[in-house]
Amino acid sequence: MIAYQFRPMERAVALQIAQWRYAPPYDIYNASEVEEAADEYLTPEYHYYSLWQNDDLVAFRCFGPDARVHGGDYSADALDLGGGMRPDLTGKGLGASVMQASFEFAKKKFNPSAFRCTVAGFNLRAQKVCLKVGYQELQRFTHPNNAKEFVVFLRSVD
C-alpha cells in the first residue's frame, strides 16, 4: 500500500490546490475564484487535509459537511468524504489507495459509524473507484439548481 501523509490544510497549499485545472468534462471541479476556494479549504469545520507522498502533494481530502451536494439525502449517520487528486495524477490508478488511506485516517481522527461519498453522475471513473473500495450506491438525485445528476455511496467502517 502506498504511504500517504495527511497534513492539516495550510494557506499556501490551499492556494496551490485552488489553481489546479482539470480537462473537460472534469473542469467542473476547477475553482472559479482561487482565493474563495482557498478560504473554503481552510474552514475548520470542513476538515480539509492535504495528502503527500514523501514531499509531493498528490491530493486533498475533506471530512464532513463540505463533501455533501445540495439536494441529496444525508439523513443516514455517516462521515462524508470528498476531495480531489492532482490533475496530472488522475486516471493513473491512485484513487483506490487515496481512498483507503482516507478511511484509515478518518477512523482514527473522527471515529465514524460509516463513510459516505457523493460523486457527479458523469464521473464514472470516480464511481468505479468507490465501488472498488467497498462503497455501495445508496441514491441518485438531481441538483435542484443545475439539473446535474449525483450519486451517493455508503460504506461500512469495517
Query: What pLDDT digit, counting tens, does each position of 31-86 carry?
Result: 999 999 999 999 999 999 999 999 999 999 999 999 999 999 999 999 999 999 99
CB 74, CB 58: distance < 8 Å = no
Residue 118 has pLDDT above 90, yes or no: yes
State pTM to two decimals: 0.94
Residue 1 has pLDDT above 70, yes or no: no
Q: Which of 10, 22, 116, 109 is nearest to 57 (CA)?
A: 10
Between 100 and 158, the more confident residue is 100
- Specify the pLDDT at position 116: 98
Spell out the domains of the chain, with CATH numbers in brackets: 5-156 (3.40.630.30)
3-state helix, strand, coil in the chain (%, to 5): 35, 30, 35
Q: What is the mean pLDDT of the chain?
A: 96
Q: Predicted confidence band at 2 (pLDDT cuts at 50, 70, 90)?
A: confident
- CA of residue 131 relative to chain centroid, distance: 15
Q: Is 39 exposed, middle or buried (0-12, 13-18, 19+ CB in 10 A)?
A: middle
